Structure 1
Amino acid sequence: MPHGQPDHVDIQRTVESSAGPQDQDSSVYQEQKVSWLELFFDLIFVVAFDQLAKRLGQAPDASSLLHFGLLFVAVWWAWAGNATFAARYGNETRTYRWGTLAQLVSLGMISLTIRGDLMDTGSAFALAYGVNRMIQAALYLTVSRRSPNAAAFAGRMALSFGTAAALWLLSSAWPGGSAVQIGLWCAALALDVLTPVFIRNHSRHALPHEGHLPERVGLLQIIALGAIVTEIVGGSRQQALDANNLIPALAAIITAVALWRMYFDQARALPLLGARVERRVGRMLAWLYGHMPFTLAVVLLGVGLGHGLSSAGSSKAAGEQRLVAVSLALALLTLAFLRWNSLRVTRRFFPDRSLPALLVGAGLAVGLLFIDLDTLRVHLAVAALTTLLALIIATDPVTRRLGRLEEAVLERLGEGDHPDSVEDALDGPPPAHSAETSG
């Protein structure tokens, strides 16, 4: 196992060379594995999500929610920067490995500073995050200098990350949590988020790999869903282990399992396959960006469920019910968006029952805002709703059809056959290759 690769995670990626970016037209489909370094990097976010959850749990008011959302977007984007770079240029280069190790140190400092009051830790957080952006800028700058094909995209990304790093570092000069500091943070994050959208026409030689990136994204969702269990255990510690505590705790765990099933039953690579086959980069970016509110919703849901257990029977329970309702509705709406985006890639809107079910489920979740339930009934209602939706999605013929389509496109790419569009794989097996193609 070279470079400490895990031997149980098999995915494939397209490479032109180990040191250069991918050429999506002439490359050979080869095997790649998620590295131990990437897994270690992703596991750092267990700490980051836990710190964010504790921060929100201390004072879940409007101001805390806004600060939580801002810090969450920053943390998520720190992860996305690393994951998309590896998916674009590979995880085997010395540049990536050393850059990721440096980012791990910066993320450790970020995790240390996100829980405290911004008046005390805002400047330290800004410095740590600015360093993280500088490392990301250096990675893209290195790629742009080594490969002429990558210069157009990687050079612009390096400039964007470098500018964002300057804004973060500059913001550390202002008092922690001040309006100027928060404004500079928002400007820097907006630059990070919008740059890939504005320069997407330059990303032909830097499309994220359709096997690698979904694996990294899926790992992050597992970490977020695991945070729900952490919050449930933490909330239950403050109550007696009787039926009034164990039953809602069990219902909350069932909710986490149902959300896992709803997410992983989706054909998650279709938007990336569409970008590779048809150069539809916008739908790929919609897929990636759509995961940010989903991860946010899952973390918020964990806080709501966990604190609902700890505050059962008190006046705080109503506030936790509202948090559960809003976060669950956001999670279901995001899943509906991801489903719709995958259907768009196929150019055929099948008689899908999962999409309307998710939308109805989001409406029912919002309905929890208008009824007064105790913790037990809230948790049972949420578990029943998510379990029902998971069963609908799992048994939907369209779910299986999208999965077969994804497998068919990947199979054709693996055999060296580059289809003209994703929908070409809808009707039957791939065509037989000619001698010229197979040679």
Structure 2
Amino acid sequence: MTHGEPDTIEVQEHEPSGPAGTPVHNDQKVTWLELFFDLIFVVAFDQLAKRLGDSPQLENLGEFGLMFTAVWWAWAGNTMLAARYGNETRAYRWGTVAQLVSMGMLALTLRGDLKDTGMAFALAYGTNRVLQVVMHFALAREVPGGAPFAQQSSAPLALAAGVWLISAWLPGGSTLQILLWCAALLADMIIPVVIQARVGNAHSSLPHEGHLPERVGLLQIIALGAIVTEVVNGSRQQEMNLVTLAPALSAILLTVALWRLYFDQARTLPLLGAHVEGQVQRMQAWLYGHLPFTLSVVMLGVGLGHGLSGVDAKKDAVNQQFVAWPLASAFLTLCFLRWNSRRVARQRGMDRSLMAMWAGAFGAAAVGFIDLDTVQLHALVAVLTVGASLIVATDPATRRLGKLEEEVTEQLDEGEAPETIVQELADPSDEISANPPTNIETRSS
């Protein structure tokens, strides 16, 4: 990805090999078009952050959450299409270009009052969902073996798209319009779960185990970058001195620590579990778990940035809540993602990293009840996050999960399908194999 895009890319086809029916592993790189599409979300997150920062009342917080979820799901829909059917088909390329335009128009509507922009938002999002339906139909024809999942998805998605378009003609920001948006979005998110449950672990419907984590990771980088943007913008409102630089530095350290906490995880294990053992629910839990994490990170950026630009005690108290609770939510989501990966690896109980992240979550929540100024607040949450990241990075359990992920991925690369995720973890002479963790469950026959 960083060294130029290859001239040809193999489109993933899920062909069984081995007793478990694991598909032959084909590399699938993120394309320039996908990177361009993801960059639209830099603007979308920035607009949403400004919307929340301009009016941090409870009503606006609900609208922010709803619109953020819609934006995130538009990204997830495109990403899952690429991961399921390949990113080099004609249908995907042209459909993504069209979706890119619709998302650009959607980003224009994110900051305004829904009384003025509700119609435009609904039309732009409804158009995006219609494009999603068209891409499903087209990919069902282009990709061998992809028809069943795509065809079952098309009709319910078309219904949800229709609801979005109909809602455009209701009064902007009205209760009925927002209720229709909630219903359509909920249906949109439930449909893939229901259909995946029907087809099970049919490999024609499973996303690529390397491509999907890469796209998901790129979005988290964009969200973390939004914190830096908010911190820089907040610092520009103050004179450049030690008092303003100290909390800004703390915010940057916190951002780096969050990046380390996320990327230190064995992020591919839930997808490997779906491909090797059919643990589809773990894969879906992994994907959906990223919604609250990304939302929390963007909200955290608002709290940190506006805390730097705030000039009165009342605003500081509000900004403190936008630091404490989103950071607690981010820690809790990281706990869930690690727990999910440990379950794929048949590990029970708590490891050192889980305990550290739970402590970080409780510590961040406690910060919301303490009266702190900006310097104290940013320093305290930075210490919490950096401390947790150091514990996770040095935890032997983190190394074990990473080693397991590498072993299974290498076996798939070599065309050897392991029967279970924990099969042949490493060479017998390896330290991990010689001293296996006692909390790994044995697979029942």
Q: TM-score range by the shorter chain?
A: over 0.9
Q: Tell me, yes or no, if structure 1 residue 183 matches structure 2 residue 166.
A: no
Which shifted more, 363-372 or 267-276? Answer: 363-372
Q: Secondary structure at the match of 1:252?
A: helix
Does residue 133 of the first structure (1) align with residue 119 of the second (2)? Answer: no
Residue in structure 2 matched with residue 325 of structure 1 by the alignment? 324
Counterpart contact for 1:6–1:34, Cα < 8 Å:
no
Give the conservation status (yes or no) of the 8 Å contact 1:325–1:366: yes
Contact 1:102–1:135 (8 Å) recurs in 2: yes
Q: CA deviation at 1:151?
A: 2.8
Give the structure 1 partner of residue 140 of structure 2: 144
Shift of 1:109: 0.5
Name the counterpart of 2:433: none
Q: Who is 2:38 aligned against? A: 42
In the TM superposition, what are the counterparts of 1:95-114 in structure 2 within 5 Å? 95-114=91-110
Q: What's the CA shift for 1:314?
A: 3.4
Amino acid at match of 1:70: L
Question: 1:413 is matched by which residue type in structure 2?
Answer: L
Alpha-carbon deviation of 1:29?
A: 2.2
One-letter amino acid of the structure 1 residue matched with residue 249 of structure 2: L
CA contact (8 A) 2:119 2:169 kept: yes
Structure 2 residue aligned with 1:218: 217
C-alpha contact 1:6 1:36 (8 A) present in aligned 2: no
1:237 maps onto 2:204 in alignment = no
Moved more, 109-118 or 196-205: 196-205
Aligned to 1:196: 192
Aligned position for 2:275: 276
Q: 1:346 to 1:68 in 2, by over 3 A?
A: same
1:9-408 aligned at under 5 Å gives the runs: 15=11, 22-23=14-15, 25=21, 27-146=23-142, 149-201=145-197, 202=199, 204=202, 205-349=204-348, 352-408=351-407
The corresponding residue for 2:432 is none
Q: How far apart, CA to CA, are the structure 2 residues paired with 1:413 and 1:172?
A: 47
Does the C-alpha gap of structure 1 residues 9 and 294 become closer, same or farther in structure 2, counting only changes over 3 Å? farther
Q: Deviations over 1:142-186 (max 9, x none)?
A: 223445733321112112221111010000010100011101100
Question: What's the secondary structure of 2:313's corresponding residue?
Answer: coil
- Shift of the alpha carbon at 1:357? 1.2
Once the two structures are superposed, residues 21-48 of structure 1 have per-residue CA deviations (whole angstroms, 9 ceiling, x without a partner) of x345474322322100000000110000
Letter in 2 for 1:128: A
Work out the CA distance in 2 between the residues paired with 1:247 and 1:329. Answer: 22
TM-score for both structures, normalised by structure 2: 0.91
Q: Which residue of 2 aligns with 1:437?
A: none
User: SS of 1:316's equivalent?
Assistant: helix
For the residues of structure 1 that align with 2:183 and 2:292, how far apart are their CA atoms? 19
Specify the SS of the correspondent of 1:32: coil
* Cα distance in 1 between the residues matched to 2:315 and 2:362: 24
Residues 45, 223 of structure 1: 8 Å contact kept: yes
- Larger mean Cα displacement after TM superposition, 234-243 or 41-50: 234-243
Asked if structure 2 preserves the Cα contact closer than 8 Å seen for 1:15 and 1:28, the reply is: no
Contact kept? 1:313, 1:375, Cα under 8 Å? no
User: Is 160-169 or 128-137 further displaced after alignment?
Assistant: 160-169
Closer/same/farther in 2, CA of residues 130 and 56 from structure 1, 3 Å limit: same
CA displacement 1:259-306 (0-9 Å, x = unmatched): 000000000000000000011100000000000000000000000000
Matched residue, 2:441:
none
| Contact 2:12-2:26 at 8 Å conserved across structures | no
Gap regions ≥5 residues in structure 1: 431-439
Shift of 1:238: 1.0
Unaligned 5+ segments in structure 2 are 430-445
| Cα distance in structure 2, aligned partners of 1:96 and 1:180 | 34
Equivalent residue for 2:434?
A: none
Aligned residues: 420
Shift of 1:198: 1.1
Partner of 1:419: 418
What is the CA–CA distance in structure 1 between the aligned matches of 2:222 and 2:424, rounded to whole Å?
33
Displacement of 1:14: 8.2
CA contact (8 A) 1:129 1:168 kept: yes
Q: Secondary structure at the match of 1:29?
A: coil
The worse-fitting range, judged by mean Cα deviation, of 292-301 and 197-206 is: 197-206
Conserved? CA contact 1:232–1:302, under 8 Å = yes
> Following the alignment from structure 1 to structure 2, what is the Cα–Cα distance between the partners of residues 236 and 27?
51
Q: Name the CA distance, whole Å, in 1 between partners of 2:190 and 2:68.
A: 17
State the distance in 1 between where 2:12 and 2:378 align.
Answer: 51
The one-letter code of the counterpart of 1:386 is T
Instruction: Give the SS at the match of 2:47.
Output: helix
Shift in Å at residue 370 of structure 1? 1.1
SS at match of 1:426: coil
Distance 1:164 1:380 in 2: 45
- Percentage identity across paired residues of the two chains: 60
For residues 350 and 424 of structure 1, what CA distance do their matches in structure 2 show?
20
Q: Which moved more, 1:101-110 or 1:25-34?
A: 25-34
1:57 maps to a residue whose letter is G
